[in-house]
């Protein structure tokens, strides 16, 4: 498992450049361009189970959901950031991608630290310290736990 | 204690007596805006659509604007897919390529009605707060689910109050005001919040309010909203929205806000936002003389007729500086036609500008006006993110139409207050 560590105000153009928004929609098309203008190594090296750390206002800017779709397809276990832009946050719920809101954990993390998650307790453990993070409200958790909004919507439509 | 705009409108729309910030409510938005991304949205739910159809065919408003006219086979095919969807499912609110930028079209065609909710798969959907609409951006998947179910959840946001006093002194403009506010508040200063504008908001035209509400998302806001006054009612009447068809909502007088800010419009000076964040704001007076390769006048932020008129005052009878490029992009066909009638298009073309069809392309690097490595652009758009105009080694500076036009004539960053207007 690798930890990717980035700064503040990482916008959706850095996560997935606007010039590809109308030529790439599927996870396979998106993946090679993920984080292209931020970290050219990411797309080739990121793997299932990796965790991404970032500062404040992660995912600000455009409403494009390709960054979330791409990160989910890679199997990124969670993003841990000081705060998120709201459309990105909603997009992550809708794709079933785990976002952890925890400024203290981001401040505590130093390259080389071990990182693990205890989702039942709502804790992130960095080195020997653990930090709790807020859980989503139950009505929203239902969407993420169904595997995302489309899966949830299909369940509802069948009722 | 009084209620905020967001609390009042979401209580009405969710059928409850009252709601409080933080609460989650179910709503049926009056409209769902989608654009060129409609192809990807309906692609996610092809089989579901066959089985369940579109829940409320009068809800979607689809405007083709992001890559228009189509740039290549792929984008042309996207457009074709969308036209087929519109025809198959009886979507009557469809505006094909050439009508204009979606946000401008929604205002001009009377979809932005006070007291209503509009969600859209575009981050600048917050623009309709200019007319007292609860409007906000969502992702493509949310839009797909809305097509199937016709309803979604919203969290009631907390609210920041911004009180405006005084009057702008032209050529200082609404763009300078909103950039200045974002510079003070920060690119995440209103994250998840509703931003209410109070005070002397009637000193701003509806078009100026549009520019300000449009950039609400650049301070992280969920919505950015103005009260509906006589000028807003007159604007609505001019686009065919009858006064009897809507009930404006506004905050109570005794509401307590999470943050209170005041700005004096009379004290402002022209500003720019330097790369690569919108809150990196600096007075033009401190940066004069900086040179650019491309100048861009247009977008959903500043491509309206008042913007073109203001810019034309600096360009009439003049030529843009040697070795630079000026792109002019009216935000809609209606605006383009008005500009034609008023002779503005002739002024721009004779000055040496390229006139582009109404659309979004250059702003997000999707189509036309792409920058080369090492180039700089002075733009009236809303974002200066790295790579935004198609090249990560280019730099984008944001400014008002007045500053862009005055600077294009001079060939370097100019303070429009010091340049000659016709």
Test A56 with B188 for CB contact under 8 angstroms.
yes
**Contact partners, residue B418, CB within 8 Å, separation at least 6:** none
Instruction: Give pLDDT, residue B136.
Output: 98
Q: Is B383 helix (H, G, I), strand (E, B) or coil?
A: coil
Share of chain B above pLDDT 70, in %: 100
Instruction: Give pLDDT, residue B340.
Output: 98
Interface subset of B 287-326, CB within 8 angstroms of A: none
Euclidean distance between CA atoms B87 and B175, whole angstroms: 39
* B101 touches B359 (CB < 8 A): yes
| Domain spans in chain A, listed from the N-terminal domain onward | 3-134
Q: What is the third-level CATH fold of A3-134?
A: Aconitase; domain 4 (3.20.19)
- pLDDT average, residue stretch A93-98: 94
Residue A136 has pLDDT above 90, yes or no: no
Pairs of CB atoms within 8 A across A/B: 135
Tell me which residue in B36, B139, B390 faces A19 most closely, judged by beta carbons.
B390
Identical fold at B5-264 and B273-418? yes
CATH class of B5-264: alpha beta
Interface subset of B 121-160, CB within 8 angstroms of A: 121-123, 125, 137-142, 144-145, 148-149, 153
**Maximum Cα interatomic distance, chain B, rounded to a whole number of Å:** 63
Per-residue pLDDT band for B422 (boundaries 50, 70, 90) equals confident
Check residues B290 and A144 and name the one with the higher pLDDT: B290
pTM above 0.80, yes or no: yes
Per-residue pLDDT band for A25 (boundaries 50, 70, 90) equals confident
For the record, the structure tokens of B256 come out as 């307590």
Per-residue pLDDT band for A159 (boundaries 50, 70, 90) equals confident
**Which of the 8 DSSP states describes residue B361?**
G
Contact of A154 with chain B, judged by CB distance below 8 Å, is answered with yes
Contact of B393 with chain A, judged by CB distance below 8 Å, is answered with no
- Over residues B106-126, the pLDDT tens digits come to 999 999 999 999 999 999 999
Contact of B188 with chain A, judged by CB distance below 8 Å, is answered with yes
Tally Cβ neighbours within 10 Å of residue B411: 16
Share of chain A above pLDDT 70, in %: 100
Residue A145 has pLDDT above 90, yes or no: no
Euclidean distance between CA atoms A101 and B330, whole angstroms: 41
Test B388 with A13 for CB contact under 8 angstroms.
yes
**Omega within 30 of 0 (cis) for the link into A90:** no
* B138 touches B119 (CB < 8 A): yes
For the record, the structure tokens of B323 come out as 């070795």
Which chain B residue's Cα is nearest to A84?
A: B191
d(CA A68, nearest CA chain B) in Å: 10
Which chain B residue's Cα is nearest to A69?
A: B141
Q: Which residues pair with B206 in a beta bridge?
A: none
Tell me which residue in B138, B149, B385 faces A90 most closely, judged by beta carbons.
B138
Closest alpha carbon to B349 in B400, B301, B297: B297
- pLDDT average, residue stretch B57-78: 97
Euclidean distance between CA atoms B212 and A155, whole angstroms: 40
Closest alpha carbon to B417 in B167, B166, B168, B170: B170
Per-residue pLDDT band for A52 (boundaries 50, 70, 90) equals very high
**Which of the 8 DSSP states describes residue B296?**
E
**What is the average pLDDT score of chain B?**
97
- Over residues B301-351, the pLDDT tens digits come to 999 999 999 999 999 999 999 999 999 999 999 999 999 999 999 999 999
d(CA B16, nearest CA chain A) in Å: 18
Residue B372 has pLDDT above 90, yes or no: yes
Euclidean distance between CA atoms B1 and B255, whole angstroms: 6
- pLDDT average, residue stretch A122-151: 93
**Omega within 30 of 0 (cis) for the link into B171:** yes
- Over residues B7-24, the pLDDT tens digits come to 999 999 999 999 999 999
- Over residues B148-188, the pLDDT tens digits come to 999 999 999 999 999 999 999 999 999 999 999 999 999 99
CATH 2.60.40.730, applies to B273-418: no
| Domain spans in chain B, listed from the N-terminal domain onward | 5-264, 273-418
Query: Following CA atoms B216, B221, B227, B233 in sequence, which dihedral angle do they give, to the nearest 10 degrees?
Result: 50
d(CA B57, nearest CA chain A) in Å: 17
Q: Is B196 helix (H, G, I), strand (E, B) or coil?
A: strand
- Over residues B212-256, the pLDDT tens digits come to 999 999 999 999 999 999 999 999 999 999 999 999 999 999 999
């Amino acid at each position: 498992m690798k930890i990717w560590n980035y700064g503040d105000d990482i916008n959706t153009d850095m996560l997935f450049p606007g010039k590809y928004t109308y030529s790439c929609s599927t996870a396979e098309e998106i993946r090679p361009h993920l984080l292209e203008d931020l970290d050219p190594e990411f797309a080739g090296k990121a793997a299932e189970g990796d965790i991404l750390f970032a500062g404040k206002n992660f995912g600000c800017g455009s409403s494009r959901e390709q960054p979330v779709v791409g990160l989910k397809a890679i199997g990124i276990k969670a993003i841990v950031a000081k705060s998120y832009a709201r459309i990105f946050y909603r997009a992550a719920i809708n794709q079933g991608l785990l976002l952890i809101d925890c400024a203290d954990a981001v401040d505590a993390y130093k390259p080389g630290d071990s990182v693990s998650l205890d989702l039942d307790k709502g804790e992130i453990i960095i080195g020997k310290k653990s930090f709790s993070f807020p859980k989503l409200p139950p009505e929203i958790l239902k969407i993420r736990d169904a595997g995302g909004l489309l899966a949830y919507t299909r369940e509802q439509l069948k009722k | 204690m009084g209620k905020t705009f967001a609390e009042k409108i979401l209580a009405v729309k969710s059928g409850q007596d009252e709601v409080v910030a933080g609460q989650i409510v179910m709503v049926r938005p009056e409209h769902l805006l989608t654009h060129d991304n409609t192809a990807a949205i309906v692609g996610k739910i092809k089989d579901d659509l066959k089985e369940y159809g579109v829940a409320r065919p009068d809800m979607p408003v689809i405007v083709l604007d992001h890559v228009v006219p189509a740039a290549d086979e792929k984008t042309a095919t996207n457009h074709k897919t969308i036209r087929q969807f519109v025809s198959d499912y009886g979507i009557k609110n469809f505006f094909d390529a050439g009508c204009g930028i979606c946000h401008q079209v929604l205002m001009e065609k009377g979809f932005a009605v006070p007291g209503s909710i509009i969600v859209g798969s575009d981050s600048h959907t917050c623009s309709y707060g200019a007319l007292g609409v609860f409007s906000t951006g969502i992702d493509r998947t949310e839009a797909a689910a809305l097509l199937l179910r016709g309803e979604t959840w919203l969290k009631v946001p907390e609210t920041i109050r911004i009180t405006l006093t005084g009057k702008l002194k032209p050529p200082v403009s609404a763009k300078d005001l909103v950039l200045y506010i974002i510079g003070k508040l920060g690119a995440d200063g209103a994250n998840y919040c509703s931003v209410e504008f109070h005070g002397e908001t009637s000193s701003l035209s509806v078009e100026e309010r549009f520019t300000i509400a449009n950039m609400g998302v650049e301070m992280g806001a969920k919505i950015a909203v103005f009260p509906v006054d006589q000028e807003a009612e007159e604007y609505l009447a001019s686009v065919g929205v009858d006064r009897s068809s809507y009930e404006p909502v506004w905050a109570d007088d005794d509401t307590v806000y999470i943050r209170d800010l005041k700005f004096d419009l009379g004290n402002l000076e022209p500003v720019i936002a330097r790369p690569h964040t919108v809150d990196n704001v600096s007075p033009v007076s401190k940066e004069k003389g900086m040179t650019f390769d491309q100048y861009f006048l247009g977008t959903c932020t500043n491509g309206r007729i008042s913007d073109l008129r203001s810019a034309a005052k600096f360009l009439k009878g003049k030529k843009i500086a040697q070795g630079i490029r000026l792109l002019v992009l009216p935000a809609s066909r209606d605006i383009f036609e008005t500009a034609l009638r008023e002779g503005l298009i002739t002024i721009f073309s004779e000055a040496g500008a390229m006139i582009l069809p109404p659309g979004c392309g250059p702003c997000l690097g999707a189509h036309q006006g792409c920058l080369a490595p090492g180039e700089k652009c002075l733009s009236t758009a809303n974002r200066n993110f790295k790579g935004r105009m198609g090249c990560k080694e280019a730099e984008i500076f944001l400014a008002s139409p007045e500053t862009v036009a005055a600077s294009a004539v001079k060939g370097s960053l100019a303070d429009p207050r010091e340049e000659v207007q016709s």
